[in-house]
Structure 1
Amino acid sequence: MKSRVYDTVDRQLVHALQLDGRAPFSRIGEALGVSDQTVARHYARMRGEGALRVLGLTSPAALGETQWIIRVQCTPDAAASVAEALARRDDTSWVSLSSGGTEINCMTRAESGQNGNSLLLQRLPRTPSVVAVTAYCVLHIYFGGALSLVNKTDTLTPEQAALLLPDPPPPMVTEAVAVELDEADHRMLALLERDGRTGLAELADASGRSQSSVRRRMNELQAKGVLYFDVNFGRRIFGLDNAVLLWLSVSPGQLAETGRAIAEHPEVAFVCATTGPSNLHAVVICPDIPSLYTYLTTRIAALDAVRQLETTPVLRRVKAAASLPQPAAVRGG
């Protein structure tokens, strides 16, 4: 079967939605120099294929929650089923299979004061097929959340990006803010998590608010950094086929400097400081194995503070940022 070919408009549309997930197609078309019908057609095709989805997500930092990275070692015959079970949980994200299909990596979030996700950390070790579980507390995120690998590309010109950026731009939140979510908020956010472009009428029906109230509340939550919009996209749209997890041990005195340096690398989709045997974790995505080798032997090799490095190839993405598993069409993409 011939693989799908993506064009410039496809890539520009992904970038545009990363800048403003709810931008009208007319504004995107104006920035891209195409009609709104063309934008709508490209969006509908990629979304129908499972290669593109806008997500309305909440910031754990803004809500005072703690994020944990969990590494699960499984027997080869059960890793896939355990990964699928983790992907079905509402509190997990970025579930992937790696290391020959015997290791699962996922991120979970827990309310402040909890020692990680007690359900995960208590149940997983008692699962017969689970050999070992290691939990890393995320201490600080240098790149991730509302910022994506797409933001580092030159898919859009600076002039095009300026037409699409929200005004004012959403803040980068690193600590809790005084926001109390009520039941109406939770119903609205649940719909946005499944589809960040859900219409105001549907959001109003779900939350019991008027459309104008829904618009004001979304703007308020965005302004406080609680709500942000992300794009889940098939990496092959940008010719990116190889994802690797890096676990780095860095001199504590140079941790922040090294984290910020890695965050600037165009190959890095996520980087954070963690607890555990390694204190810096990154997700690196490259077009192919030679480019990954070049990255490790140039950019990473140039960081004097890195004392030890472990690389874990990602064999399959089971779940991306949303609380629902990715469509089968983009698994591994």
Structure 2
Amino acid sequence: MLHAFVGGPFEWTGFDDPLDHDQIAALTPAPARPPATVLAPDADDEPLFAALATDGRLSYAELSAVAGWSESRAARRVETLRAAGLLYFDLEIANEQLGHPVDALLWLGVAPSAIAHVGEALARPPETAYTAVLTGPANLVVAVICRDTAHLYRFLTETVGSLPVHTLDTSTVLRRVKQAGSLMDGDRLTDPEPPPVRRT
């Protein structure tokens, strides 16, 4: 991936009734103060990252047990890593449970001069969960989440079709067994395995 337009730490906004700006502001934590020096993760952070990768809902008390630290040290380290941009939290959802059972990956071939225009245009629609520039014949990938195949068809013919795209390959997701960090059981996310407790 060379550049992401939407996805990763950016949110998917495809819900029928998304939060308004005031609701988002009320739920958004205050920006963490960036560290005074350049920060890099160290070996002591590995249990913390592993535990949060397994279950980002862990409390500071649970993280302290995993890392072998005090609760206050675990809280400070999480906030320091977050402020430095080395840690962010992402929410995984079962799209099917929210009425969006059709997922597809679109592999687009776009002229280099049009990549920014097409990438930005395809990052805006509510169906788009991820848009990024790649290398190779398909130089733009777009992940879309739709209500049904008719919705996907309209997205392909109307939204993508209105842009200067030379080639398009569409791969629909027939069965999802894993998302970014969660396993799927049918149309539901499975409970994460508990992280191992660090023995000191």
TM-score by length of 1: 0.52
Give the 3-state SS of the residue equivalent to 2:58 in structure 1: coil
How do 1:209-220 and structure 2 match up within 5 A?
209-220=69-80
Q: Does structure 1 residue 294 correspond to structure 2 residue 154?
A: yes
Per-residue deviation, residues 45-64 of structure 1 (Å, max 9, x unmatched): xxxxxxxxxxxxxxxxxxxx
Separation of aligned partners in 1, 2:67 and 2:107 = 42
Q: 1:328 aligns with which of 178, 185, 191?
A: 185
* Cα distance change on mapping 1:267 and 1:312 into 2, 3 Å: same
Q: Do the aligned partners of residues 268 and 302 (structure 1) sit closer, same or farther apart at CA in structure 2, a change above 3 Å counting?
A: same
1:197 CA drift (Å): 1.3
Q: 1:153 to 1:147 in 2, by over 3 A?
A: farther
1:156 to 3, 16, 19: 19
**Alpha carbons 1:184, 1:208 under 8 Å: kept:** no
Aligned residues: 187
1: CA distance between counterparts of 2:59 and 2:8? 23
1:316 aligns with 2:179: no
Q: Is the CA contact (8 Å cut-off) linking 1:170 and 1:222 kept in structure 2?
A: no
d(CA) in 2 for partners of 1:313 and 1:300? 16
Helix, strand or coil at the partner of 1:233 = coil
Aligned match of 1:232: 92
CA contact (8 A) 1:318 1:331 kept: no
Residues 35-82 of structure 1, C-alpha deviation per residue, up to 9 Å, x if partnerless?
xxxxxxxxxxxxxxxxxxxxxxxxxxxxxxxxxxxxxxxxxxxxxxxx
Report the Cα offset of residue 144 of structure 1.
0.8
- What displacement does 1:196 show? 0.7
Task: Note the residue ranges of structure 1 that are not aligned, 5 or more in a row.
Answer: 1-137, 172-176
Asked whether the 8 Å contact 1:244–1:311 carries over to 2, the reply is: yes
Q: Contact 1:316 / 1:331 at 8 angstroms: preserved in 2?
A: no
How far is the alpha carbon of 1:238 from its aligned partner?
2.1
* Partner Cα distance (2:32, 2:13) in 1: 17
Structure 1 residue 242 corresponds to structure 2 residue 102: yes
Q: Percent identity?
A: 39
Partner of 2:192: none
2:143 counterpart residue number: 283
Query: TM-score, normalized by length of structure 2?
Result: 0.85
Equivalence map 1:29-68=2 (5 Å): none
CA contact (8 A) 1:188 1:203 kept: yes
Q: Do the aligned partners of 1:146 and 1:230 also contact (CA within 8 Å) in 2?
A: yes
Query: For 1:298 and 1:291, how far apart are their aligned partners in 2?
Result: 10
Counterparts of 1:159 and 1:169, CA distance in 2? 20
Distance 1:279 1:151 in 2: 24
Aligned: 1:180 with 2:37: no
Structure 1 vs Structure 2 CA RMSD: 2.3
Matches within 5 A, 1:139-150: 139-150=2-13
Greater strand content: 1
CA distance in 2, matches of 1:276, 1:245: 16
Cα distance in 1, alignment partners of residues 33 and 130 from structure 2: 18
Q: Which amino acid aligns with 2:170?
A: T
Higher relative contact order (CA 8 A, sep 6+): 2
Distance 2:157 2:32 in 1: 36
